[in-house]
Structure 1
Amino acid sequence: MNFLLQRVVLQDLPAESHENRTRLGMLAGWVSVVISIFMGSGKLLLGMASGSVSMLADATNNFTDAGSSLVIALGFQWSRKPRDEAHPFGHGRIEAVATLVLSLALVLVGAEVGRTGFSRLINPQPVEAPLWVLVMVGVTVAVKAWMAVFARQLARLTKSKVLEADAWNHAFDIVCTLMVLGALLCSRYGWGAVDGWTAIGVAAFILYTGISFAREAIDILLGKRPDPETVREIHDVVLEVDGVMGVHEIMVHHYGDVKMVSFHVEVDARMSLVDAHLISEDAEATVEKTFNWRALAHLDPVDRSHPFFDVLSRCVHEYLEQEDCLVDAHDLRAEGEHAPFNVSFDLVTDMETSRAEYDGIYERALQWLERRIGGQVSGVEIGIEAAVESAPMARREFQLPSSGK
C-alpha cells in the first residue's frame, strides 16, 4: 500500500492538494476497477457452479463496483481540467456528480438483487456448497478487506467524500460476502431458504448505501449548509483581527476542492475609508492563511460612540434571549442628537424559521422596544434574515406609538 502511495503522491504537495487528490482518486478508482472485475468474474463462476442466487447477487454487486469505480476514476480525471471562462471555479463538483452516478447504480442493482432473492424464495432450488467454494469465498473476503482499508486510507489523506463513500461500499461488500458464506454453510445442512433471504439482505445493504450516497451528493450539488463549527472557527479568526468590532453573515461556498468564504466585518464608523479597507484586507488575508480558502469581506460601519448605542444594544440583546428562533443581531445604529432617536438593527433567525413567521417577530420586537425604550425612540427600522440565506433581507420601518407620531 505504501509503495503505491509513494509512486503516485507528489511529495512536495500536501495530500489534500488538488493535484494529489486527483492522483490518489484515480489510483483508488483504477485499482478497484481491476480487482472488482476479477472478483466479480470469480464469484460468477462460483455462483454458477453452486447454483447459489446469493453468490450470483454478490457477483453482480462486484461488477457494479467495477462500473462505479470507473466513474470515480474518470470523475477525478475530469476534475483535473483547468479553470476556464465557463467554469471560473474549476471542475471540482464533478466529484459529487461521480458520487451521484455511483449511488444511482447501486440503487438499480440493489432493486434487481432483491427481485432475484424473492424469486428464489418463491421457487427454491438446491444449492451445492463444496469446501473449495467456501474457501474461495473466504479469499474474496480477505481481498475486499484490503480494498476497504486502502480506500479508507486514501479518503483520510484526501478528505474526499467520494473515496469515503467507496470505502464504505467495500466495507458493506465484506458484510454481504460473509452473509453469502453463511448462506452456503446453511445450504450444506439443508437450509436452502437462507440463500434467498441472504440475497434480499445483500440487496438491502446495496440500496441503503446507494440512497445515502445520493443524498450526500445532492446536498453538495444543491449547496449544502456549512458546518456550524466551521462557521464558528471563521468567526473567531476574523474577530481576532485588529479593528474588527463584529462579524456576521458568514457564507461558505464549495466548488469541489475550491472553497470561498464571504463575511461582513463591523468597523468603527469614525475611521477613514482607507483604514477601514485595510482592516477588511487583513481579515481576508487572515482567513485565507488559516483555511487556505478564497475570502471576501464586506464592510459595515458601526458608530458605538452614539450616547444611546449601549442602551439600544442592551435592549436588543435582551430581546434575543426572549425569542428562541433568534440567534444573533448586528448592524445596530442610533441616530439623532436628542431623544427621541431613530434606531435600526438586523435580527438573524435560525434555519427552521420561515418568512411567514417574520410578522410575528416584528410585532413582538416592537412591543419589547416600546416597553423598554419607547419614550426615547421614534423611528425603528428592523431587518430579518436567516443565518444562511440567499434571498434578500426582509426589512421594514415603523413608528413607535409612544412617540406621538
Structure 2
Amino acid sequence: MQEKYRNLKIAQHWVMISSLAYVFLAMLKLVVGQLSHSATLLADASNNLTDILSSIAIIYGLHLARRPPDEHHQYGHWKAETIATFATSLVMLLVGGSVIYSSIKGILANQTSTPDIYALFVGLFSGGLMYAIYLHNARIAKKLKSSSLLAIAKDTRNDAWTSFGTSLTIIAANLHFPRLDNIVALLIGGLILKTAYDILSDSAFALSDGFDDDLLAQYIAAVNQIPGVERVHNIQGRTYGANVFVDIIIWVDPQMTVRESHHITEKVESLLRRKFNVLDTDVHVEPWDVDYEPQRPNELNSH
C-alpha cells in the first residue's frame, strides 16, 4: 500500500513539471500569436491553457488520493483523482467550444491573415518540447502504473501534434493560403473537444463503477486454474483511481474444511495481486452446486 502512495507522489511531481512547461508555452504562444496575427497559434495557446487547468486539477486530485482511509472513506480517497479528471474534461469542453465558435466566426466573416514567419519557430519549438515531455512521462507512467500521468502524457502528445500542425499552417499561410489559418484553428478546437469527450467518457465510466468485462474474463480464467476452486460463481470489479478492487464468489468442495477453504482464498488474493495488480480482493466461499448451469464471463455481474 505504501508503494501505491509513493507512486502517487512521484506522479504528482511529474504532472507539476509538465504544468510549468504548459505555462511557459501558453504565454509564449499568446504573445507571439497576437504579434504575428496567427489564429492557429492563439488556438494552440488556448489548448495549452486547458492543459494547465487539467494539470492543476489532477495535482489536487493526486494530493487528495494520497490521504489514508478514514471513518467516512473506508476504501481510501483514490477516486479524488478521477473526480478531478472529470471536472477538467468539462472545462476542456467549454474551451474547445469557444475556439470552434471563434474559428467559424472568422470563416463566415471571410477573415484572412498571414502570420509572420517567426511564429513558425514557436510552433516547431513547442512541438519538439511537448513530444519530449510525452516520451518521458509515458515511460514514467508505465513504470509507476499511473493512469493519470499516462493520460497527461497522451494529452501532451496531442499537443505536440497540434503544434506541428500549427507550424504547417503558418507555412501554408505564407505561401498565399491565408484562409487555412482559421480552418486549422477549427480543427484544433475539434481536437480539444475530442480529447475532452474521451476523458469525460472514461472518468464517468469509472465513477459509475463501470468495469472492463474482458478483464473480468481474464480474472475468471486465472482463478479457475487454482486447485480446489470448482468454479467462479460470481465476480464484480470496480476502480478507485488507478486501483482495482474485486469481489468474487468461488465454489469449492462442500466437504472442504474451513482451514482449507481459507488457504484457497489466500491463493486467489495472491494470484490477482501478482498477475493483474489488483489492490484488494474480497473472496467469498460457497459450497459447489453441481446442478448449476454456468454463465458466460460477460454475463456475470460487473460494476
So what's the TM-score if we normalise by structure 1? 0.68
Note if 1:161 corresponds to 2:119.
no
* Structure in which a larger fraction of residues adopt helix: 2
The Cα offsets for residues 177-205 of structure 1, whole Å up to 9 and x where unpaired, read as 22222222222232211111011010111
Quote the offset at 1:263 in angstroms: 2.0
2:37/2:116 contact within 8 Å kept = no
Note if 1:100 corresponds to 2:86.
yes
Match of 2:237 among 236, 244, 252: 252
Quote the offset at 1:346 in angstroms: 4.5
Aligned equivalents of 1:184 and 1:74: distance in 2? Answer: 37
1:142-161 to structure 2, matched below 5 A, reads 142-161=128-147
* Structure in which a larger fraction of residues adopt strand: 1
Match of 2:300 among 359, 384, 387: 387
Aligned to 1:348: 295
Aligned equivalents of 1:283 and 1:146: distance in 2? Answer: 41
1:179–1:347 distance in 2 versus 1, CA, 3 Å: same
Moved more, 58-67 or 242-251: 242-251
Note if 1:51 corresponds to 2:51.
no
The count of residues paired between Structure 1 and Structure 2 equals: 302
SS in 1 for 2:295: strand
Match of 1:66 among 45, 52, 61: 52
The Cα offsets for residues 122-146 of structure 1, whole Å up to 9 and x where unpaired, read as 2244534333332222211211112
Aligned equivalents of 2:122 and 2:237: distance in 1? Answer: 49
The Cα offsets for residues 187-230 of structure 1, whole Å up to 9 and x where unpaired, read as 223221111101101011111111011101111111122342x4
Aligned to 2:246: 261
Aligned equivalents of 1:19 and 1:298: distance in 2? Answer: 28
Moved more, 257-266 or 45-54: 257-266
Aligned to 2:212: 226
1:99-138 to structure 2, matched below 5 A, reads 99-138=85-124
Q: Which has the higher contact order (CA 8 A, sep 6+)?
A: 2
- Residue type matched to 1:387 in 2? L
Aligned to 1:26: 12
Aligned equivalents of 1:187 and 1:26: distance in 2? Answer: 40
SS in 2 for 1:104: helix
- Residue type matched to 1:238 in 2? V
1:31–1:278 distance in 2 versus 1, CA, 3 Å: closer
5+ residue gaps, structure 1: 1-12, 303-330, 334-344, 352-385, 391-405
Match of 1:295 among 281, 287, 291: 281
Note if 1:181 corresponds to 2:128.
no
Aligned to 1:141: 127
Match of 1:217 among 188, 203, 214: 203
Aligned equivalents of 1:141 and 1:286: distance in 2? Answer: 43
Aligned equivalents of 1:288 and 1:226: distance in 2? Answer: 17
Aligned equivalents of 1:138 and 1:288: distance in 2? Answer: 44
1:192-341 to structure 2, matched below 5 A, reads 192-228=178-214, 230-288=215-273, 290=275, 291=277, 293-302=279-288, 331-333=289-291
1:191–1:90 distance in 2 versus 1, CA, 3 Å: same
Quote the offset at 1:278 in angstroms: 4.5
5+ residue gaps, structure 2: none
So what's the TM-score if we normalise by structure 2? 0.89
The Cα offsets for residues 344-393 of structure 1, whole Å up to 9 and x where unpaired, read as x3452675xxxxxxxxxxxxxxxxxxxxxxxxxxxxxxxxxx41157xxx
Match of 2:73 among 65, 87, 110: 87
Quote the offset at 1:232 in angstroms: 4.1
The Cα offsets for residues 300-341 of structure 1, whole Å up to 9 and x where unpaired, read as 223xxxxxxxxxxxxxxxxxxxxxxxxxxxx334xxxxxxxx
The Cα offsets for residues 228-258 of structure 1, whole Å up to 9 and x where unpaired, read as 2x43443344334443322231222322244
- Residue type matched to 1:269 in 2? P
- Residue type matched to 2:216 in 1? V
**Percent of pairs with identical residues:** 23
1:113–1:266 distance in 2 versus 1, CA, 3 Å: same
1:231–1:120 distance in 2 versus 1, CA, 3 Å: same
- Residue type matched to 2:301 in 1? V
1:264/1:300 contact within 8 Å kept = yes
Give the root-mean-square deviation of aligned CA atoms.
2.5
Aligned equivalents of 2:218 and 2:130: distance in 1? Answer: 38
- Residue type matched to 1:136 in 2? V
Aligned equivalents of 2:244 and 2:130: distance in 1? Answer: 34
